């Protein structure tokens, strides 16, 4: 019975580590998606903001 509990507790520790890794991968993928989006839309956004700046003056 004690061995079973030890195995169960070790499994819980492993899940926490795996969860942290999964969150890290998700954050990395979101960062890559943001970088790609800004890279693709950067010129269009620059033009948009320049138009707004001109209109405000």
Q: How many independent structural domains does the chain possess? A: 1
Give me the pLDDT at residue 45, please.
87
Q: What is the DSSP letter of 57?
A: -
Entry pTM: 0.53
Domain interval for residue 41: 1-51
Express each pLDDT in 9-57 by its tens digit.
666 555 556 677 888 899 999 999 999 998 999 889 889 999 999 999 8
* Alpha carbon distance 37, 31 (integer Å): 10
Is the residue at 16 inside a domain? yes
In a domain, 56, yes or no: no
The whole-angstrom separation of Cα 30 and Cα 3 is 41
pLDDT of res. 22: 85
């Amino acid at each position: 019975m004690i061995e079973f509990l030890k195995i169960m507790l070790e499994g819980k520790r492993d899940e926490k580590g795996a969860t942290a890794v999964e969150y890290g991968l998700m954050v990395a993928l979101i960062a890559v998606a943001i970088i790609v989006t800004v890279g693709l839309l950067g010129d269009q956004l620059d033009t948009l903001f320049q138009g707004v700046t001109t209109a405000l003056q």
